[in-house]
Structure 1
Amino acid sequence: MRNIQTKIASYLLAAPLSILLFACGGGSGGSDGLGLALAALNMDTPPTATQSEFLNRYADMAYESYSQAVTDAQALYTAVDTFSAAVSPTAGDLTNLKNLWVKARASYLLTEGFRFSGGPIDETSVLSCGDAGDYSGSDECEGLLNAWPLDEDAIENYINNTGSINFAGIYGAIGNTSYGTEGNPEKIVMTGYHPIEFLLWGKDNSGSPAGVNSVAGVRTFSDFSGSGNGPKRKAYLKAITAALVGHLTLIRDQWNPSTGAYRTTFLDPANTGDSVGKIFQGLGSFIAGEWGGERLTGSFGGDQEEEHSCFSDTTKADFYYDAQSVLNIWTGNYSIVKGVNISTGAGLSNILSGKSQGGIHGELIKSRDVFCINLSDTETADPNYTTVCPANSLTDRYDQIILSSNPGDSLYNENTILQNTQYLIGETLKRDFVNAANTLGIHVTP
């Protein structure tokens, strides 16, 4: 006991020197030791970064994240271009496109933490996307990239009834219920990741009876061959994949360190408080309303149409990377593969005192790791694919888990884990995040 007291006293006596060394870029040992001593005395630890330092890191990470999304989308487009030029694409060619989509999807999902924060992804006063030569226009960019759910019959009917396929025509068909079968204009989604997903996998109605969904969609390469709709289907795929690259590029360029218009405004010292407030509000909205809200609760009724990536059966990856996207901003570390930091810097947590951070870090880790990316028929190209899942994680297909909501159902235990995870994100994490913002005088309305 005496030795412990002596160590704590020595840390407290050395505290001014430790803080000085930290501020001057000294080693982490003194700072960590001080934090341990203060924690032992139930005292708070101060923030380790200024708001300006955090905002610069946030802007850098936004540019890095969208740059990776562009790179992976471009790789997909290059393969689609080759695929489209082939007279008779093969099964291997189609599998290659699916794998590239899975990889591109992961890097895009890591940008989702930047939503709802007044930035170029979904604020039309900053940036609008469309069908112009550079893919600018008058629409919110996020909707053209990631809208869901979709009436997939609209895409097939458009292909069936259109002679020459081009992006301007596809763009003009958005919301036109004459192409669909559900009568809902919001489901006439013609562009973005999910229409590409549908074209690659087809409807996910496998199994007997239909709807058991023992595998992902089973579209075959022959759908892209012949002289009928095959060439038009390839043209549609190529057009919307090119647009995907174009829209992502516009967003990325707004964060460019040298020329990004939004970045300049965002980092203006006069806007520091406003920018920090928008980030807190955006993350709060994403955590409670989107990731832990509509996407999870919308699927609890067992409706496959509400499953985020229903054609490829990669919905668990959607939730995994949503958690990682928030964790990246929280820590300041840009990470795709679990445990591997591509770049590091000051995160949102660093502008908060130790106590103000609450349990957010652990809650983000837990809400990420519960989604195991392990499906051998569709997820092997995912950067975090694994054959060894953590204990108490979701190991089965998402569309089967949401159908097992009654005691006695085969996957009822996993359904319960999913329900508890929604509460963790939508209630516990939301509460702690709102409380953290309050300590800085920022009011968040999730």
Structure 2
Amino acid sequence: MSAVFNFTFVPWFRSVAPYIHKFRNQTFVLGVCGEAIAAGKLQALAQDIALVQSMGVRIVLVHGFRPQVNEQLRAKGHEARYSHGMRITDEVALDCAQEAAGQLRYEIEAAFSMGLPNTPMAGATVRVISGNFLTARPVGIVDGVDFQHSGLVRKVDAGGIKRTLDMGALVLLSPFGFSPTGEAFNLTMEEVATSVAIALKADKLVFVTEISGIRLRPGEPEGDDNPVDTELPLEAAEALLRQSPAPQQPSDTAFYLQHCVKACKAGVERSHIVPFAVDGSLLLEFYVHDGIGTMVVDEKLENLREATADDVGGILQLIEPFERDGTLVKRSRTEIESDIGNYTIIEHDGVIFGCAAFHPHPEAHTAEMAALTVSPLSQGQGDGEKLLKRIEQRARSQGFDSIFVLTTRTMHWFLKRGFEPVPPEWLPQARLRKYNWDRKSQVLVKKLA
């Protein structure tokens, strides 16, 4: 086995492990658009979903069937009709929807029943269970348009779904619901997935879609100059919806976003829009820090807070590579444990991605910011500035006039943020006695207005 593989695999696995631990026993509702299946992505999706489930995630899978129903309609010489972004389901369309749902359910169950040969899940058994978990009601007549057999979710049998998940099965739902009198209604995958996620109080709602996510500048061309907004706070998502016209097709900004917002407002912590065109997009979204699609969250996931004793291990793991290359002075576990109350951290999903220490020198009306560290996985996203601002706040709250840092390699970063160089003799006497003249660290000071 090559040394290069070892060098890349071990750090990668260590970075993924916290997410595996965090997601165990959580419930994810996945809404997969019919276009993904039509594009031949079912086998790859089944492998990845099975892999996620094998790591302890409870999964409800809702499939769409928009292109499959349209194909059935064309075969019968019947035109697909839409209004208000929903299908108008007449008798012929209802028959086509039932045929398409039956065929897709068969294909999905088969994909999970193959033993997944030549994959990481080879030989695994994935039990797929479907059922009449949804009660529906008709859409009715909207703005003079009779939607006939198109329906909306009236009730979700959350207890039945939870009991099925407790058995270790994957729950598969088609976008169909039935009235108490047995009448069938064609539903949308998006509404079913959202309603189920809310009813289950799911940890994630994930749409696997034909779009790559929400762009930083919606309405402008896709590309490197207009990247996907990987984390969209709920407040910003709601503002974007207010600015967007009523969605008519999946490529419209509000089409999936409206359901993400609805779920988050109803208590689903995170909602995602993930592209099916990228191989392994679900794994990238779940187990990589920044993901690949857009995640709507009720509040920013980065939690800036003061450290506790439970954070010592995470801080050590974060700063160790920088100590090894000489960027930081080495600190022992005992030093950090005794000084833990002075540390501020940034964590993401329970993983520490940044830290800084605050060392007051009240006799000189100043404080040192030490061990400022940001993980390479999140550099360039403003975490360093957030930590700096928190240290400044702590210094101001104690009436200090300035803060200072000692650095050998990041002088320009601090200069850009208002620090000025001073000779080591400027340091408070207690700190000057500990100054390492061999290391020749630059001393930089920032005045606090």
TM-score scaled by length of structure 1: 0.23
TM-score scaled by length of structure 2: 0.23
The structure with higher relative contact order (CA 8 Å, sep 6+) is: 1
